[in-house]
Amino acid sequence: MRMTMEEMKNEAETTSMVSMPLYAVMYPVFNELERVNLSAAQTLRAAFIKVRYK
């Protein structure tokens, strides 16, 4: 499943306050990486999401 940056932002708005600092730091990284290498951005984003839910 591929998520756009907008979908990621919407998902982050529903997460706990504990996740917010990480999202605030990583959003610009994901955003820039998405422009440079979409596949890498999606892989990295999926890894963060997977770890967050464990």
Task: Say what the pTM is.
Answer: 0.55
Task: Give CA–CA dist 54/41, Å, rounded.
Answer: 20
Question: Residue 36 sits in which domain range?
Answer: 5-52
Closest of 29, 37, 38 to residue 3, by C-alpha: 38
Q: What is the pLDDT of residue 39?
A: 92
Please, what is the Cα angle at 27 between 41 and 51, to 5 degrees? 65
CATH number at residue 20: 1.10.12.70
Kindly tell me if the per-residue pLDDT of 28 is higher than 60: yes
Closest of 10, 15, 2, 14 to residue 45, by C-alpha: 2
Closest of 53, 52, 38 to residue 2, by C-alpha: 38
Indicate the number of domains in the chain: 1
How confident is the model over 29-46, as pLDDT tens digits?
888 999 999 999 889 888
